[in-house]
Amino acid sequence: MKTVAVLGGGPAGAFAAAGLATAGLKTILFDEKLAWEKPCGGGLTYKAYHQYPFLLDNACPKRLVHQTVLGAPKTGEATMDLAHPLVIYSRLDLNRMLLERAAQAGAAIEKTRIMQIERRDKTWRLRTRDGVAEADYCIIATGARNPLRDVGTEWSAADTMSALGYYVPASQEHIDIQFLPKLEGYIWVFPRCGHLSVGICGKGEPAQMLRARLEAYMEERSIPRKDAVFYSHMLPSLESGGWRRNRVAGDGWMAVGDAAGLVDPITGEGIYYAMRSGDLASQLIANDAHDLTEKAAAYRAALAREFSHDLEFAATLAKRVFLGRFLFRTVPQRMVEFMRRSQRFRDLMQDLFAGTQPYLTLRNRLLRNLNGTLQEAIMSFFLDRVIPENS
């Protein structure tokens, strides 16, 4: 392997380039924008900074948020202290830090658009806006709107969700998560340095309707839209079939991050999976023990072992979480009620927020705890009626 080209310089590409260059491979990263304010909440879970502590220990501006308020229709809210804070970056700052890290490791960084790629005699020919380049191997990190049709995930409309919002010049200390009637998705308010990222993601609903829901929420909460900057993008949100068909690697290429569909179909978390897949891909490309065919298979296996099986399983849960019913109310309503009344349930939700509770073992944990949770919730419900909290 002489030269590896990394196409795209978001978290996935920047992580891959840093890993490849550190391993001593000649690495060129191409991005048409380089560091930019990619439409995003910018939230990093504990899982991400536990795996990569430099994400916490650096001089880059970021907010550490220790409290989340969850709300559901006609149920009010529940407040949860986070054992591990959510770390929230502006994407301009995060992307810049990750690109600088790749450059420091020795990757060449080029600002240009990749127009087309072609495989000829085991070599890639890359046509860029500014000329032509060659590489022996390609990492596809061009994000959710990957324009390179022959590589990376091939998704249908059902495998995506719209996400849009406003950067609002305001501040608050906590995160808000609001569930909405009949929506497979949610609204978030993330405090960042100097502004809020207020957004909505939803599956199966046109962006205009999502925007109307978000604006109604902002009006209700007196979150000003004056001077706010609108953003919108799409999120991969693979259905079960999409995960099974997912095209993540092929002859001389691996796809990482959003270009490989690696996003949690329930929460929309993608930054961790982008960074981790970039890191795994770089390790396997640098590993001389595999030939090219083995590398693709080894990458698929590594993703499955680390998280893609879990995300595939999450795809089977998503509709039930947002649209399902439990004991005559919607699941989001019950979640908020249980959070208010049961410490066990709050512990479980904290772990889900931190990214330390896999979906694959959620059912068993719920079964183990459900009795206790229900008992706690029922006891607290009746106690409230007999002895109100402040009497």
Ligand X SMILES: Cc1cc2nc3c(=O)[nH]c(=O)nc-3n(C[C@H](O)[C@H](O)[C@H](O)COP(=O)(O)OP(=O)(O)OC[C@H]3O[C@@H](n4cnc5c(N)ncnc54)[C@H](O)[C@@H]3O)c2cc1C
Which of 294, 38, 345, 282 lies closest to 139, judged by CA? 282
The correct pick among 257, 265, 332, 355 for binding ligand X (CB under 6 A) is 257
Which of 43, 11, 16 lies closest to 28, judged by CA? 16
Binders in 269-328 for ligand X, by CB under 6 A: 269-272, 274
Listed ranges 40-48, 218-226, 242-250, 325-333: which one lies at the site for ligand X (CB under 6 A): 40-48
Q: Which C-beta is closer to ligand X: that of 264 or that of 337?
A: 264
Q: What is the C-alpha separation between 295 and 303, in angstroms, rounded? A: 12
Contact between 39 and ligand X (CB under 6 A)? yes
The correct pick among 141, 180, 302, 348 for binding ligand X (CB under 6 A) is 141
Which of 42, 156, 139, 27 lies closest to 89, judged by CA? 42
Terminal Cα-to-Cα distance of the chain (whole angstroms): 73
Q: Which C-beta is closer to ligand X: that of 37 or that of 136?
A: 37
Contact between 185 and ligand X (CB under 6 A)? no
Q: What is the C-alpha separation between 103 and 276, in angstroms, rounded? A: 18
Contact between 10 and ligand X (CB under 6 A)? yes
Query: Could you tell me which residues are beta bridge partners of residue 186?
Result: 201
Phi, psi for residue 165 in degrees, rounded to 5: 175, -165
Task: Pinpoint the alpha helices (H) of the chain.
Answer: 11-22, 46-51, 91-105, 207-220, 240-245, 271-286, 292-303, 309-323, 331-341, 343-354, 362-386
Binders in 329-388 for ligand X, by CB under 6 A: none
For 212, residues 6+ apart whose C-beta sits below 8 A from its C-beta are none
Report, in Å, the least distance between residue 262 CB and ligand X.
8
Q: Strands across the sheet with 123-128, in order?
A: 114-120, 123-128, 131-135
Contact between 28 and ligand X (CB under 6 A)? no
Phi, psi for residue 134 in degrees, rounded to 5: -125, 150
The correct pick among 38, 63, 334, 341 for binding ligand X (CB under 6 A) is 38
Q: What is the C-alpha separation between 64 and 86, in angstroms, rounded? A: 6
The correct pick among 6, 29, 41, 280 for binding ligand X (CB under 6 A) is 41
Binders in 234-253 for ligand X, by CB under 6 A: 235
Report, in Å, the least distance between residue 238 CB and ligand X.
12
Provide the residue count of the chain: 391
The one-letter amino acid code at 371 reads N
Q: What value, to the nearest 5°, has the Cα angle with vertex 271 and ends 265 and 273? A: 65
Report, in Å, the least distance between residue 161 CB and ligand X.
9
Residue whose C-beta lies closest to ligand X: 270
Contact between 152 and ligand X (CB under 6 A)? no
The correct pick among 26, 32, 125, 317 for binding ligand X (CB under 6 A) is 32
Q: Which C-beta is closer to ligand X: that of 259 or that of 284?
A: 259
Report, in Å, the least distance between residue 273 CB and ligand X.
7
Q: Which C-beta is closer to ligand X: that of 228 or that of 377?
A: 228
How many positions of this chain bind ligand X (CB under 6 A)? 38
Q: Which C-beta is closer to ligand X: that of 250 or that of 370?
A: 250
Cβ 186 vs Cβ 180: under 8 Å: yes
The contact set with ligand X (CB under 6 A) reads 8-13, 30-33, 38-43, 113-114, 141-144, 147, 163, 165, 199, 233, 235, 257-259, 263, 268-272, 274
